[in-house]
Structure 1
Amino acid sequence: MIALLIATVGAALLGGVLGALQWLVVRRRVPIPRKAWITANIGPALLAWLLVIMPAVISAQNSDANVSTAYLLAASQSLALGPLLGLSQSLVLRKVTRRWAWWIGANLASWLIVDAVIYLLSHLFSNLNAFTGDGSIAEIYLALIATTPLTGRALLWVLAPTALTTADKPKTP
């Protein structure tokens, strides 16, 4: 029961903050309701917590393993669920842009690129251990932040005025 509560709070915090920050940018291009966008972020975050992070933590607790290492490893594995976020958000975007399906691919590509770069860097720098369980929470956040420029640029392209559906195109005087 406690694990479910932690998962729900973690998902609401992660999805809610990410969704609110993204919505501040998205709303400047298209009229997407804040609640719809934030909900599209919380759902995948909840799935990541319930399907990846919490099972790893519960398993660590049951085997008397280091719970903080379990959180770290599970969080790094949940990075692969980033494309799930793109899928959920694309369902909101398809109402306003013809390029909505590209958003799924952009999320997948950005997460794969960042994971590959971090993996390669971990071979060059022995202190970068995000994917081995010896790393720090800061390394996980670094990976999350590193996807931002890639997905942000892609989102601007997906929401370019030429890609918007006719009903949502900005009106020229």
Structure 2
Amino acid sequence: MLFGGVLGALQWLVVRERVPVPRKAWITANVGPALLAWLLVIMPAVTSAQDSHDNVSTAYLLAASQSLALGPLLGLSQSLVLRKVTRRWAWWIGANLASWLIVDAVVYLLSLWSKDLDLFTGDGSIVEVYVTLIATTPLTGRALLWVLAPSALGHK
């Protein structure tokens, strides 16, 4: 929820410069998917690890890295807000998915090269999880500017 709230607040600072989107609607569109990913992906993995006496921190790291679903969930949720102001709203879903796939692929390839980056094996750190989450920002940010370009604004 913290990630969704911070991401939503920071994105809204950019979005509001292009279109009149209510802050509450935009931040809620970020917190909802983050909460869903937490409840449906991360918590079950942690609970399962705890019940089986496995390493809970490893389960958390694996679940967080598997929350690739967060990209499309964010894109879908945010697109419902963007739908009212841009004709390119549907592209936002794909842009989120693509950015998360690209970042995960790069992190995976880097982990093959360096054993210090073990996010996908469960031996990584929480810092690696957040770096991976933050690394999507430049890609999604650029896509957001395209989705909100003046030529795309207006209803469907």
Question: Structures share a fold, TM > 0.5?
Answer: yes
The one of 46, 57, 64 aligned to 2:46:
57
In the alignment, is the contact (CA less than 8 A) between 1:40 and 1:89 conserved in 2?
A: yes
> Gaps spanning 5+ residues in structure 2: where?
none
SS of equivalent residue, structure 1 residue 28: helix
Would you identify which runs of 4 or more consecutive aligned residues in structure 1 move more than 3 Å? none
Q: Which residue of 2 aligns with 1:148?
A: 137
Q: Which residue of 2 aligns with 1:164?
A: 153
> Gaps spanning 5+ residues in structure 1: where?
1-10, 167-173
The structure that has the greater radius of gyration is: 1
Looking at structure 2, the residues matched to 81 and 20 of structure 1 have their Cα atoms a distance apart, in angstroms, of: 17
Q: Which residue of 1 aligns with 2:122?
A: 133
* Greater relative CO (CA pairs within 8 A, separation 6+): 2
Q: Give the deviation of 1:65 after TM superposition.
A: 1.2
Q: Which residue of 2 aligns with 1:8?
A: none
Q: Which residue of 2 aligns with 1:3?
A: none
Letter of the structure 2 residue corresponding to residue 125 of structure 1: S
Q: Which residue of 2 aligns with 1:118?
A: 107
Looking at structure 1, the residues matched to 25 and 78 of structure 2 have their Cα atoms a distance apart, in angstroms, of: 9
Q: Give the deviation of 1:79 after TM superposition.
A: 2.9
How does the TM-score come out when normalised to structure 1? 0.87
CA RMSD of aligned residues (A): 1.0
1:40 correspondence with 2:29: yes
Further displaced range: 136-145 or 90-99:
136-145
Looking at structure 1, the residues matched to 37 and 68 of structure 2 have their Cα atoms a distance apart, in angstroms, of: 9
After superposition, the C-alpha distances for 1:16-50 in whole angstroms (9 at most, x for unaligned) are: 11111111111011000011101111111111001
Q: Give the deviation of 1:80 after TM superposition.
A: 3.4
In the alignment, is the contact (CA less than 8 A) between 1:79 and 1:144 conserved in 2?
A: no
Q: Which residue of 2 aligns with 1:23?
A: 12
Q: Which residue of 1 aligns with 2:55?
A: 66
1:85 correspondence with 2:79: no
How does the TM-score come out when normalised to structure 2? 0.96
